[in-house]
Amino acid sequence: MLGGLVKPEDFELLAGEAALGSYVWGGKVSERFFCRTCGVHCFGRGHLAELGGDFVSVNFNCLDDLEITDLKVMFWDGRHNNWDAGPRNTPWPNSCEARR
Protein backbone atom coordinates (compact mmCIF):
# COMPACT_ATOMS: atom_id res chain seq x y z
CA MET A 1 0.00 0.00 0.00
CA LEU A 2 1.25 3.47 -0.82
CA GLY A 3 -0.06 5.85 1.77
CA GLY A 4 0.64 8.61 4.20
CA LEU A 5 -0.35 10.19 7.47
CA VAL A 6 -2.36 13.34 8.12
CA LYS A 7 -3.73 15.00 11.22
CA PRO A 8 -7.43 14.18 11.84
CA GLU A 9 -8.46 17.80 11.22
CA ASP A 10 -6.95 17.55 7.71
CA PHE A 11 -9.01 14.48 6.74
CA GLU A 12 -12.59 14.48 5.50
CA LEU A 13 -14.44 11.42 4.22
CA LEU A 14 -16.63 12.75 1.42
CA ALA A 15 -18.71 9.67 0.57
CA GLY A 16 -19.19 5.96 1.11
CA GLU A 17 -19.15 5.71 4.90
CA ALA A 18 -22.06 3.23 4.88
CA ALA A 19 -20.01 0.85 2.69
CA LEU A 20 -17.10 0.68 5.17
CA GLY A 21 -16.30 -1.95 7.74
CA SER A 22 -13.67 -1.57 10.44
CA TYR A 23 -11.44 -3.48 12.83
CA VAL A 24 -8.94 -2.61 15.57
CA TRP A 25 -5.30 -3.27 14.72
CA GLY A 26 -1.91 -3.07 16.43
CA GLY A 27 -2.89 -3.57 20.05
CA LYS A 28 -5.56 -0.88 19.79
CA VAL A 29 -3.13 1.58 18.18
CA SER A 30 -5.54 2.22 15.32
CA GLU A 31 -8.92 1.39 13.84
CA ARG A 32 -8.74 0.47 10.16
CA PHE A 33 -11.55 1.05 7.70
CA PHE A 34 -12.06 -1.10 4.61
CA CYS A 35 -14.54 -1.48 1.78
CA ARG A 36 -17.10 -4.19 2.66
CA THR A 37 -17.52 -4.98 -1.06
CA CYS A 38 -13.93 -5.46 -2.21
CA GLY A 39 -11.97 -5.58 1.06
CA VAL A 40 -9.52 -2.79 0.20
CA HIS A 41 -8.08 -0.92 3.20
CA CYS A 42 -9.07 2.74 2.70
CA PHE A 43 -7.84 4.56 5.80
CA GLY A 44 -7.22 4.20 9.51
CA ARG A 45 -7.49 6.38 12.60
CA GLY A 46 -5.34 6.11 15.67
CA HIS A 47 -3.01 7.57 18.24
CA LEU A 48 0.70 6.93 18.53
CA ALA A 49 3.00 9.23 20.50
CA GLU A 50 5.92 8.46 18.16
CA LEU A 51 3.87 9.88 15.27
CA GLY A 52 2.88 13.02 17.12
CA GLY A 53 -0.36 11.76 18.65
CA ASP A 54 -3.64 11.43 16.74
CA PHE A 55 -3.35 10.54 13.05
CA VAL A 56 -5.25 9.29 10.02
CA SER A 57 -3.42 6.92 7.68
CA VAL A 58 -4.65 7.19 4.09
CA ASN A 59 -4.32 4.63 1.28
CA PHE A 60 -3.41 6.90 -1.64
CA ASN A 61 -4.76 4.33 -4.11
CA CYS A 62 -8.26 5.13 -2.80
CA LEU A 63 -8.08 8.83 -3.67
CA ASP A 64 -9.68 10.25 -6.79
CA ASP A 65 -7.68 12.56 -9.06
CA LEU A 66 -4.28 11.61 -7.63
CA GLU A 67 -1.48 10.42 -9.90
CA ILE A 68 0.64 8.10 -7.76
CA THR A 69 3.72 8.60 -9.95
CA ASP A 70 3.68 12.33 -9.11
CA LEU A 71 4.28 11.65 -5.41
CA LYS A 72 7.68 11.92 -3.74
CA VAL A 73 8.27 8.67 -1.86
CA MET A 74 10.41 8.50 1.29
CA PHE A 75 11.83 5.17 2.42
CA TRP A 76 12.25 4.15 6.08
CA ASP A 77 14.10 1.06 7.31
CA GLY A 78 11.38 -0.57 9.37
CA ARG A 79 12.47 -4.07 8.34
CA HIS A 80 15.56 -3.76 10.56
CA ASN A 81 13.91 -1.52 13.18
CA ASN A 82 16.30 1.21 12.03
CA TRP A 83 13.86 4.10 12.46
CA ASP A 84 16.51 6.41 13.95
CA ALA A 85 18.31 6.48 10.57
CA GLY A 86 15.44 8.57 9.20
CA PRO A 87 14.02 8.62 5.68
CA ARG A 88 15.91 8.59 2.42
CA ASN A 89 15.10 8.83 -1.29
CA THR A 90 16.09 5.26 -2.21
CA PRO A 91 14.93 1.98 -0.68
CA TRP A 92 16.93 0.48 2.15
CA PRO A 93 18.57 -2.84 1.24
CA ASN A 94 16.81 -5.94 2.44
CA SER A 95 18.54 -9.08 3.70
CA CYS A 96 18.18 -10.83 0.30
CA GLU A 97 19.97 -8.00 -1.50
CA ALA A 98 22.78 -7.96 1.08
CA ARG A 99 23.59 -11.65 0.34
CA ARG A 100 24.08 -11.09 -3.40
Highest mean pLDDT among 9-18, 62-71, 80-89: 9-18
pTM score of the predicted model: 0.71
- Asked whether residue 96 carries a pLDDT value surpassing 90, the answer given is no
Which residues have a Cβ under 8 Å from the Cβ of 32 and sit 6 or more positions away?
22, 23, 24, 25, 41, 43, 44
pLDDT one-digit tens code per residue, 30-79: 899 999 999 999 999 999 887 789 999 999 988 888 888 888 888 888 88
Confidence band for 99, pLDDT divided at 50, 70 and 90: very low
